[in-house]
Amino acid sequence: MTSKIKSFNELKSVQKRLKAGRDPKKPGITVCVGTGCLAYGTKKLVENFREELSKRDLADRIDFRTSGCHGFCERGPMVVLSPEKIFYQRVGLADAGEIIDKTLLKGEIIDRLLYVDPATGEKVVHEDDVPFYKKQSRLVFGLNFQVDPESIEDYLAIGGYGALGKALTGMKPEEIIQEIIKANLRGRGGGGFPAGWKWDATRKAQGEPKYIVCNADEGDPGAYMDRSLLEGNPHLVLEGMVIGAYAIGSSQGYIYVRNEYPLAVKNIHIAIRQAREAGLLGENILGSGFSFDVKVNRGGGAFVCGESSALFASLEGRAGEPRAKYIHATDRGLYDKPTNLNNVETWANVPFIIERGADWFAGIGTAGSKGTKIFSLVGKINNTGLVEVPMGTTLREIVFEIGGGIPDGRKFKAIQTGGPSGGCIPEQYLDLPVDFDELTKIGSMMGSGGLIVMDDRNCMVNVAKYFTNFLVNESCGKCVPCREGIRRMRDILADITEGKGREGDVELLEKISTGILDGALCALGNSAPNPVLSTIRYFRDEYAAHIKEKRCPAGVCRDLITYSVDAEKCTGCMVCVKVCPTGAASGERKKVHVIDQAKCTKCGACRESCKFDSIIVR
């Protein structure tokens, strides 16, 4: 553990010493221990590596490190070998010894552990050449690879807390705020409000003490950007918060993190303790006279607690309910005191701006949206994971060049951006540059960065129902437009998908949506109609097919479809017979199978398992 650092000069000396101790030419093994890889059993893999290194008396000769998430989550467990950055994916728990003996000691490549590019069929050796990574700009997220999340020494060795030292000893609080304003850092939590203006308003507000809060209550289905940053590089987030606290004039900060993120909670607690012991958090930081400390609060388990005023209420021990927005948090936030709230990714960008300058940051991205953005890319996509790209990158680049396109040769249909309150964007907008303003123009939003890809087997009416049902369950119920309006929309959508839709239902959905948009109390309600409105706007024909023809074009809504076998395509392979849970599919080997409609529950197991596309859905 690093002893207490009492000045910026001493910090630079410690950084220099730790950096010198990391030989870039030394053979190394980095194993991802993010939540995704841990789910594959990486903890045991780490133990195996350490045992195998110890057996060979190589512990001192090999730089072994565990790291946070690398982003390519579906390929875990992931192991990267330095200095060449050889990328091994889906590493087995018993592969540790072979990797050491063959690759590290003899320089041999283990072919079965390499990533195979589906576009070319070629095996890729180096991480930077993997198509998923090649098109990215991993400015913030790339640091995960370089540090053990439980080691402040690792963070200091790559220059960590240098921006804090620069801010405390060489910049006035007002100069820091102006630098953030000049960089045009916009909040990555969903609203996209300029962080610098928020900082400035909080600093100028009347009242003491002033608070800063890190919002790590990431609740969007399929989104895990903030979790992976907090797990993998907690000191980067802490450093951004301390810089912000100094600029604003705050002595107390809070990290409000989802209770469902145990690894993030564990790692941020370790980072806070280490930063205090090193003199980088707490009293008289770096001998500057500035004091600031951080507490961690676990979330209340509600999606609405990601909304600022509901989050403050939960922090205070009350029910997580929002309040009217005419009361600004910068004036009266937590405990009715001036409060600045930014999310994890926003705070993580701050050290880069202070260290490299506003002009450098503003040189990345579009005119109105600067820097990079981390997205979670999930759904009907070949390459699932976390993607960091410059603002302004097109949806087509993200989906097809980084994401690898749609599995099984299916056709792209839509992509939802912005989480459950975002909009569904059709193919015609694939070349749209992704930033805060462009997405808003077409009825969607950036949100915190969730991207859910859908193919031609997704029913857009059913998608709207799914997200509306999620919002019904997550509404706090405080205001009538949200509480009753979303529930009524859910009921109408349910009727439509069950063949009970009526003429005028679409118009009624639009009317209810307008009422919610105009009358809801908080951002959850104000954006709740987006999934419905965007699917009506771009896929109105699907609504018409459900209502007028009692037909689901995508073959999803069970009450509107039947399953049968295409006699010309069926090979009698018996797969559908084996997977059918009710015995509805039957037949002999190499003979055409049949489906008993009386037994069929329309679960879709036969359709998903058939390799010959012989299951007909009407």
pLDDT tens track for 490-510: 999 999 999 999 999 999 999
Altogether, the residues listed in the chain come to a count of: 618
**What's the CATH code of the domain at 356?**
3.40.50.11540
Tell whether the model's pLDDT for residue 325 goes beyond 80.
Answer: no
Dihedral pair phi/psi, residue 293, rounded to 5°: -135, 165
pLDDT digits (tens, 9 = 90+) for 583-611: 999 999 999 999 999 999 988 899 889 98
For residue 504 the two structure tokens come to: 């005028």
E strand or H helix at 211, and its extent? strand 211-216
Say yes or no: 86 and 169 in one domain: no
Say yes or no: 575 and 544 in one domain: no
Say yes or no: 169 and 21 in one domain: no
Residue 475 near residue 425 (C-beta atoms within 8 A) = no
For residue 314 the two structure tokens come to: 């939960």
**Using 50, 70 and 90 to split pLDDT, how confident is the model at 316?**
very high
Say yes or no: 222 and 353 in one domain: yes
Scanning the structure block, which residue is given the tokens 């949100």? 447
Say yes or no: 183 and 331 in one domain: yes
**What's the CATH code of the domain at 586?**
3.30.70.20
Instruction: Give the separation between CA 433 and CA 368, rounded to whole angstroms.
Output: 12
**For a pLDDT cut of 90, what percent of the chain falls above it?**
74
Compute the average pLDDT of residues 297-319.
86
Scanning the structure block, which residue is given the tokens 């006035």? 172
End-to-end, the C-alpha distance of the chain in Å comes to 65
Say yes or no: 209 and 333 in one domain: yes
Say yes or no: 331 and 380 in one domain: no
Q: Is residue 557 part of a domain?
A: no
Radius of gyration of the chain (CA): 26
Q: Is residue 140 part of a domain?
A: no
Instruction: Give the separation between CA 107 and CA 117, rounded to whole angstroms.
Output: 22
**What's the CATH code of the domain at 450?**
3.10.20.600
Higher-confidence position of 299 and 536: 536
Q: Is residue 39 part of a domain?
A: yes
Identify residue 278 by its one-letter amino acid code. A
Q: Residue 321: its pLDDT value, please?
A: 85
Residue 290 near residue 8 (C-beta atoms within 8 A) = no
Q: Residue 521: its pLDDT value, please?
A: 80
Say yes or no: 481 and 350 in one domain: no
Residue 388 near residue 374 (C-beta atoms within 8 A) = yes
Q: Is residue 153 part of a domain?
A: no
Residue 229 near residue 350 (C-beta atoms within 8 A) = no
Q: Is residue 3 part of a domain?
A: no
Whether residue 77 has a cis bond before it, omega within 30° of 0? yes
Sheet containing strand 79-82, strands side by side: 63-67, 28-32, 79-82, 86-88
Say yes or no: 522 and 584 in one domain: no
Which of 313, 555, 575 shows the shortest CA–CA distance to 458?
Answer: 555
Tell whether the model's pLDDT for residue 342 goes beyond 60.
Answer: yes
Q: Residue 490: its pLDDT value, please?
A: 95
pLDDT digits (tens, 9 = 90+) for 435-455: 888 888 888 887 778 899 999
Sheet containing strand 423-426, strands side by side: 385-390, 372-379, 450-455, 412-417, 423-426
510 is in which domain, residue-wise?
460-548
Q: Residue 1: its pLDDT value, please?
A: 53
pLDDT digits (tens, 9 = 90+) for 348-365: 999 999 999 999 999 999
**What's the CATH code of the domain at 468?**
1.20.1440.230
Minimum mean pLDDT among 235-249, 330-344, 465-479: which range?
A: 465-479
Compute the average pLDDT of residues 263-269.
96
Domain count, the chain: 5
Q: Is residue 261 part of a domain?
A: yes
Say yes or no: 295 and 340 in one domain: yes
Q: What is the mean pLDDT of the chain?
A: 92
Q: Residue 423: its pLDDT value, please?
A: 87
Instruction: Give the separation between CA 456 and CA 398, rounded to whole angstroms.
Output: 19
Residue 523 near residue 420 (C-beta atoms within 8 A) = no
**Using 50, 70 and 90 to split pLDDT, how confident is the model at 2?**
low
CA atoms within 13 A on the CB side of 237: 37
Say yes or no: 227 and 296 in one domain: yes
Which of 235, 299, 209, 293 shows the shortest CA–CA distance to 262?
Answer: 299
Q: Is residue 182 part of a domain?
A: yes
Identify residue 182 by its one-letter amino acid code. K
Q: Is residue 2 part of a domain?
A: no
Say yes or no: 348 and 283 in one domain: yes
What pTM, to 2 d.p., does this model score?
0.92
